[in-house]
Amino acid sequence: MEEVPQITDLHKVIQPHLPEGTTLESYSSRYLTKPGDNYGSVMLAIQAQIKDKDSKLRELSLIAKLPPLTNDIYWQIFQPERTCITENAVYQYLAPELNQLQLTAGILPAKLFDAFPRYYGSRISLNDSATKVDRDAVLVQENVTVNGYRPGNRYKPYDLAHTVLILHYLAQYHALPIALRLKSPRKYEEFVRPYFKKFDMNLNISPKEKEMMNNELLADIKTATNGDETDVKRVKELLDKFDEFQAGKDVADGPYTTLVHGDLWINNLMVKYDDDGVPIKLKIVDFQIAQYGSLVHDIIFLLFSSVETKVLEENYYQLLRVYYNAFIKALRKVDVDVSSYSYETFLDEVQKQAHLQLPHAIFMIKVILADSSTLPTDYKDVDLSVLTKNTGAKDIVAKFGEILRLGKKFNIFY
Average pLDDT over residues 309-316: 98
Closest by alpha carbon to 289, among 322, 257, 260, 319?
260
Burial class of residue 196 in the structure, from the number of CB atoms within 10 Å of its CB (0-12 exposed, 13-18 middle, 19+ buried): buried
Q: Which residues pair with 279 in a beta bridge?
A: 273
Q: What is the pLDDT of residues 401-410, one digit of tens each?
A: 999 999 999 9
H helix intervals, 309-393:
309-333, 343-353, 357-368
* 129 vs 104, higher pLDDT: 104
**Which DSSP helix (H) or strand (E) runs through 269?**
strand 269-273
Instruction: List for the chain the helix, strand, coil content (%; round to 5).
Output: 50, 15, 35
Residues 151, 221, 240, 361, Cα dihedral to 10°: -20
Mean pLDDT over each residue of the chain, to the nearest integer: 91
340-355 exposure pattern, b = at least 16 Cβ within 10 A, e = fewer: ebeeeebeebbeebbb
Report the alpha-carbon angle 365-367-369, nearest 5. Answer: 65
pLDDT of 125 strictly over 70? yes
Measured distance CA(141)–CA(237) in Å, rounded: 40
Measured distance CA(87)–CA(259) in Å, rounded: 12
Average pLDDT over residues 24-48: 81
Measured distance CA(229)–CA(235) in Å, rounded: 10
Q: What share of the chain has pLDDT > 70, as a percent?
A: 90
pLDDT of 310 strictly over 70? yes
pLDDT of 383 strictly over 80? no
Q: What is the pLDDT of residues 319-373, one digit of tens each?
A: 999 999 999 999 999 999 999 999 999 999 999 999 999 999 999 998 888 876 6
Q: What is the pLDDT of residues 59-103, one digit of tens each?
A: 999 999 988 766 666 666 667 777 889 999 999 999 999 999 999
pLDDT of 209 strictly over 90? no
Average pLDDT over residues 23-38: 79
CB contact at 8 A, 201 and 246: yes
pLDDT of 35 strictly over 90? no
Looking at residue 379, its pLDDT comes to 45
Residue count of the chain: 414
Average pLDDT over residues 381-385: 52
Confidence of residue 389 (pLDDT cuts 50, 70, 90): low
Looking at residue 385, its pLDDT comes to 56
- CA quadruple 218, 223, 228, 229: dihedral sign: positive
Crossing angle for the helix pair 160-183 and 309-333, to the nearest 10 degrees: 30
pLDDT of 205 strictly over 90? no
pLDDT of 191 strictly over 80? yes
